Amino acid sequence: MTISNAPFSFLKRFLLLSAFIFTALLTCESAFAQTKVVYHIDDAQAQGLKGLRNIRNHLDTAPQTKIIVVTHAAGVDLLMEGAKDQKNNIEYGPLVSALKSRGVVFEVCEITLKNRNLNKNQFVLDADFTPSGVVKIADLQYLDHYAYIKP
């Protein structure tokens, strides 16, 4: 009595083909994947100018990168109307606007607004708002697979 290897041969070919297709799909997905980065700013004076320059350089080198800047605590000062880097006397607004025109999203933590008694109208028009900066950063990292940079 002889047992046929035909079913095992078919299964082996099917598994090999499935593995090949799966590998090809993963390769294609990574080839078309867009790099996504969240920049975390919680102190405008310590990180503001350096962070904005890092983002500019990032986009100069990798212009397709999707970048979201999340500010909270003293970092929201970066996006306030008329805010300047105290050390260099450079206004943040024009730098923020230039990056916004390149697709960068700037978000302000609403918990910080409440804690500091600030109003949304005190911020540059380029600013968006998020209920919690910390939650936004965590979600971007964990759920949306953003790389994390804190300048």
Write out the E strands in the chain.
36-43, 66-74, 84-85, 90-91, 105-109, 127-130, 147-149
Average pLDDT over residues 68-96: 96
Is the pLDDT reported for residue 51 higher than 70?
yes
Residue 12 confidence (pLDDT): 74
Name the percent of the chain lying above pLDDT 90: 76
Q: Which two tokens stand for residue 20?
A: 């090949």
Nearest residue to 39 (alpha-carbon basis) of 69, 74, 77, 63:
69
Residue predicted with more confidence, 9 or 136: 136
Average pLDDT over residues 42-67: 97
Residue 116 confidence (pLDDT): 98
The vertex-48 CA angle with 46 and 53, nearest 5°, equals 120
Residue predicted with more confidence, 16 or 133: 133
Average pLDDT over residues 9-37: 70
Rounded Cα gap, residues 143 and 100, in angstroms: 24
Residue 89 confidence (pLDDT): 95
Rounded Cα gap, residues 13 and 20, in angstroms: 10
